[in-house]
Amino acid sequence: MKKYICFLSIIFVCGFLYAQPNLSQEANTSVLSEGSLYYDFATLNMKAKSNGQNYKIYLAIPKKSSDYNVVYMLDGNAVLDVLNEELLKKANAANLLIVMIGYVTKARFDTIARTYDYTPLVPSESDLEDVQNDYERVGGAELFLEFIENELKPKIAKTFKINSQKQILWGHSYGGLFVLYTLFTHPDYFQKYAAISPSLWWHNGYIKEVEATDLRYPTTLIVMAGDDETKYKSPQNMTKRAMMQGAIPKNAIKDMIFRLNKKTNLSAYQITLENLSHGETFKASIGLLFDMIK
């Protein structure tokens, strides 16, 4: 397969200068009651056998098609919060069944649960705590992935007529880290991966230690990040995590893309979201991804 690197610059005009999304804000779920011209909505409550966690799964189901392409989206509460008719129109054009994996909370983000679910287990450090996130537990990525692959995906495949060869995994920040972990350790689980502002800095760049080898089947990775990931309104907004983010090499994503494009059956792309900070890439990446899936 021909290898190449595609660097795109997408210009967004944005008036907010906060680097992180508001983690405590209550999610707006009005789309569930208001409906859409293009989608019906449903929710599932699932308790994972793998880790005992309770998940709330939000489904956006196209009204006028079948053989759906499927996108699995982490931080499902926050994704539901930003979905609007414009984004749903784009998703409908791509015949996307949207599976938003959320938590049983009114907040946009469950910081404790996502920190555990989205971070890998570092060998010999089973009790590792995330000192950059209020000493929360980490290392549950493999168990969370087991839930997605062995419990959630079979339920979706049994309920809907889907195209099993067009399944996508999307995640932002720690979710982006989880997307990369999934690609590097279980590349056959999805055909396309979208890692948005991935936390490459986590645990001193541990994700590089499990970076992908050659793949058996053609797979695509899209990495999107803002060109100002550590943008802050004032010095008081600077956090320890932000300093760690700023400590990774400026070309870390570019270098990773270069390495990955040397792997058999893996095509990797970098997309730069201009003038956007870490938190601002969350919503911006969704519409762009929907546009790219045809």
Q: Per residue in 145-185, pLDDT tens?
A: 999 999 999 999 999 999 999 999 999 999 999 999 999 99
**pLDDT more than 70, % of the chain:** 82
Query: In the predicted model, what is the mean pLDDT of the chain?
Result: 86
- Report the distance separating Cα 155 and Cα 213, nearest Å: 30
Q: Is 173 a catalytic residue?
A: yes
250 within 8 A of 201, measured Cβ to Cβ: no
Given a cut of 60, is residue 232 above it in pLDDT?
no
Q: Is 146 a catalytic residue?
A: no
Count of other CB atoms within 10 angstroms of residue 83: 26
Beta bridge partners of 221: 193, 268
Of the listed ranges 75-84, 148-157, 226-235, the least confidently predicted one is 226-235
What's the rounded mean pLDDT across residues 140-146? 97
Q: Which residue out of 36, 203, 278, 285 is catalytically annotated?
A: 278
Q: Which residue out of 36, 173, 197, 277 is catalytically annotated?
A: 173
pLDDT reported for residue 248:
73
Q: Which residue out of 229, 277, 280, 285 is catalytically annotated?
A: 229
Of the listed ranges 14-28, 135-149, 189-203, 265-279, the least confidently predicted one is 14-28
Q: Is 186 a catalytic residue?
A: no
Q: Per residue in 11-20, pLDDT tens?
A: 222 322 234 4
273 within 8 A of 227, measured Cβ to Cβ: yes
- Report the distance separating Cα 54 and Cα 62, nearest Å: 26
State the pLDDT confidence band at 258, using cuts at 50, 70 and 90: very high
According to DSSP, residue 109 is labeled -
| Domains defined along the chain, listed by start | 7-292 (3.40.50.1820)
